[in-house]
Amino acid sequence: MGHCPCFGLRKKADKEEKLKSQQEQHNKVFDKKLNSPHNNVSPEKYSGITTPEATITTKESDNYYSNNKAHIFTFRELATATKNFRDETFIGQGGFGTVYKGKLGKLNQVAAVKRLDTSGVQGEKEFLVEVLMLSLLRHPNLVNLIGYCAEGDQRLLVYDYMPMGSLESRLHNLPRDKEALDWNTRMKIATGTAKGIDYLHNKAKPSVIYRDLKSSNILLDRGFIPKLSDFGLAKFGPTGDQSYVATRVMGTHGYCAPEYATSGKLTRRSDIYNFGVLLLELITGRKAYDEDRGHDKHLVDWARPMFKDRKNCSRLADPRLQGHHPGSRLTMAIELASMCLREEPRQRPDAADIVLALDFLSSKQYVPREANNIDEKDKENNNDSPKGIITVLTKDEQREEAVAEAKLWGKTWRERKQNDQSSLEEINR
């Protein structure tokens, strides 16, 4: 009997119709949960979110999901991709779930699959918030959500795979035989992270407060390009006359801004404090909170007394850098971190100003020069560079540095003066 192609086409059409019906059913489940009265995220309120100037544009041949719509996977697809979630595919453990490396067959693409723990209410809430946030937001320094699975009681999120792991693994959990991150790479990571925060604060409409900025949530793509991940705790910023978002205090020990920890009032400046801790981690190589250090277990408490005197800058530098850092720019990076960590939130710089400062700090690649190639006069001018590793700034570089410093430092000083004046007027009333 001859082969009739109509039967094959009918079979294919039935399969496509079944898949379409399955996806529509998943959408209804997701929408129902998103609109639940127990969920404080309102999709109607934020349906008009736009992402100007930062939307990633990719060719369809490079990325199957070039549009912003998240794809819906079946649990079977993701179980197959991760070899039924075997230990050999395990990548790491998150706050509300476990992450596996998987191969998405139909896309021929490697991905990270996060299987959420749905035994508690928080895991379900994180799933809803993360799908909503990452479906709406697109930026080169935000992790890309490929899709999700909401089949039965299973909740899984699928992201682009980041081959370099997390910043935490590269900065704190590095094996002894591995080389530590150099100064240029650290500043590159700090700059990219700041750009991601700037996008959330100043370009996304409405603004987004990340709330969980820490080294384990910074994933590194090829070339050490940082990506903000794990948006389960993110909140839309205040609207109208509101200056803060009232919420239950959540975060990671060692990162939480003091005013948020005591009052539950969340602002964009809370993220800036978190960034100050992260920048200090990159500079010092220390963890934000390290129980093994005893009295000095809190990084900020240990470093704060040394902010006041520039002579202490070399003490704050990570010993694993072995002195391979520019003295003057190390000082600027420390001063920037100290600004972000100010107790008064209004005195902390805006994310856009942080990007400006870090763009300068990372624009000039630090190249160590051997001491024997520099004359005695240069040695005297650079005596703050240990072990004979010296960087000589030209007059143009010094001028650029002064301009960048004046812009950021000057603006912060003006804001502080305005705040002091406002406080004085309130007292006089």
Q: Which of 212, 221, 230, 350 is catalytic?
A: 212
**Of the candidates 44, 65, 48, the residue with the CA atom closest to the CA atom of residue 56:** 65
Contact yes or no for 89/83 (Cβ under 8 A): yes
Tokens 């070039």 belong to 66
DSSP class of residue 181? Answer: P
> How far apart (Å, rounded) are the C-alpha atoms in residues 266 and 122?
19
What is the β-pairing status of strands 109-116 and 145-149? Answer: unpaired
> How far apart (Å, rounded) are the C-alpha atoms in residues 401 and 239?
37
Give the CA count within 13 Å in the CB-facing half-sphere of 213.
Answer: 33
212 catalytic? Reply is: yes
Give the CA count within 13 Å in the CB-facing half-sphere of 83.
Answer: 8
Tokens standing for residue 23: 């996806």
**Of the candidates 255, 283, 81, 87, the residue with the CA atom closest to the CA atom of residue 180:** 283
- Classified as helix, coil or strand, 254 is coil
- Classified as helix, coil or strand, 40 is coil
CA-CA-CA-CA dihedral for 196, 198, 204, 207, to nearest 10: 120
What is the β-pairing status of strands 145-149 and 156-160? Answer: antiparallel
Q: Which residues are CB-neighbours of 198 under 8 A, at least 6 positions away?
A: 351, 352, 354, 355
- Classified as helix, coil or strand, 408 is helix
Q: Which residues are CB-neighbours of 213 under 8 A, at least 6 positions away?
A: 193, 197, 228, 255, 271, 274, 275, 278
Helix or strand holding residue 129 (H, E): helix 121-136
Q: How far is CA 422 from CA 309, 350, 426, 428, in A?
A: 30, 19, 6, 10
Is 227 within any annotated ligand binding site? no
Binding residues for ATP, as ranges, are 114
Active site residues: 212
